[in-house]
A and B are shown apart, each in its own frame.
Chain A
Amino acid sequence: MLRKIWDLFIGFTRASNLGFGGGPSLIPLVKAEAVDRYHWVDNEEFADSLAIGNALPGPIATKMAAYIGYKVAGWMGALAAIIGTIAPTIIVVVLLGSLIVKYSDSPELQAMLKAVRPVVVVLVAETAYDMGKKAFPSSSTWGIAVITVALLYFLNIHPAFIIVASMLFGWAVYGRTKK
């Protein structure tokens, strides 16, 4: 158990401290730890944690940490994963805040961030691709995706509403057939 809690702490610390671009940039890194490295959850469960996380407000990274941490090792696991996600960067922000204010415009830092941004974009896109492999078992699921795109881009409907609506749709349409 202790071993699991330690792994959660380390896994989420590693993901968090390499994710440049806020919580969403952490998604591929958390996936690398939770799915590929430690096998805490499979691809679908990871997608489920994202669905629940996106249906709720607040930062996404700490919600993923809470979900996966709790699943692996209960409340202590959730706590360990959250601390791993936030503590190191908060400590750096507090201790070096004024120093970083001075250097946040430095050409070195800007050069590194400029080079890492395209990488983050590809990694997040790859996560979408990975999730997508098993998310479309039937043509009606493709329909859901098309409708989601339309709602997001043309009608500017909020993602949280789309998530809840799609779950209700799934309940009504897929939920009745027994196994």
Chain B
Amino acid sequence: MLSQLWDLLIAFGRASNLGFGGGPAVIPLIKIEVVERYHWMTNSEFTDALAVGNALPGPIATKLAGYVGYQEAGWLGALVANIGVILPTALAVILLARVLMKYSNSPVLKGMLKGVRPVVVVLIAQTALDMGIGSFPNLITWGIALATVVSVFWLKLHPALIILVSMGFGLLVFR
């Protein structure tokens, strides 16, 4: 049992800390650990786990860690696998945040942040573009996008509301 927990920690820690680009970039690395290295699941079981994760909201990597960890070693397994996913990078972020807060008035740091902000804008725009591929299979989905633009920019509606309304709409129209 202990060695199983250790394996979960190492496997998910390794996958998460080698995956740049957020949770979705971590998925193939998790698959290598879970299916190929430790044989915790077969390929099709992993596909099921991914389907479950995609059906639910929230970050995908932590849901996979919860699902796989629980199957292998119960709640403790789910916890340990998630610690592997989150802890190292969360600690790194916090340490960097401390530096940022401490030196927030230094011209050097201000210069670095001024240099990086345009990059972040492009990266987020790219994320939107990537997500857009396959998200517009027909005219109605374009209509939804247009309605969202109006809701966000002119009506200033909260994104949560728009998400919930769109899901209700989908249930009525696309089923």
Number of A-B contacts (CB under 8 A): 377
Interface size on A, residues (CB 8 A): 110
Knowing A115-B174, A126-B153, the reply to whether A104 touches B54 (Cβ < 8 A) is yes
Count B-side interface residues using an 8 Å CB cutoff.
Answer: 97
Q: How far is the CB of B39 from chain A (nearest CB, A)?
A: 19
Q: Is the interface of A mostly helix, strand, loop or mixed?
A: helix
Bound-state Cα–Cα, A144 to B116, Å: 8
Of the listed residues B18, B57, B78, B144, the one surrounded by the most CB atoms of chain A closer than 10 A to its CB is B57
Partner of A104, one of B55, B111, B118: B55
Closest to A145 in B: B118
Instruction: Give the Cβ gap from B122 to chain A, nearest Cβ, in Å.
Output: 4
* Contact status A137-B137, CB under 8 Å: no
Chain A positions 156 through 171: 1 when the CB is less than 8 Å from some CB of chain B, otherwise 0 = 0011101100111111
Residues of A within 8 A of B (CB): 14, 16-29, 32, 44, 47-54, 56-63, 65-67, 70-71, 75, 78, 82, 85-86, 88-94, 97, 100-101, 103-105, 107-128, 131-132, 134-137, 141-142, 144-145, 148-149, 152, 158-160, 162-163, 166-179
Q: Could you list some 13 contacts between A and B, CB below 8 A? A: A17-B57, A22-B24, A24-B24, A24-B127, A66-B91, A90-B78, A112-B170, A112-B171, A123-B148, A124-B131, A148-B122, A168-B115, A174-B114
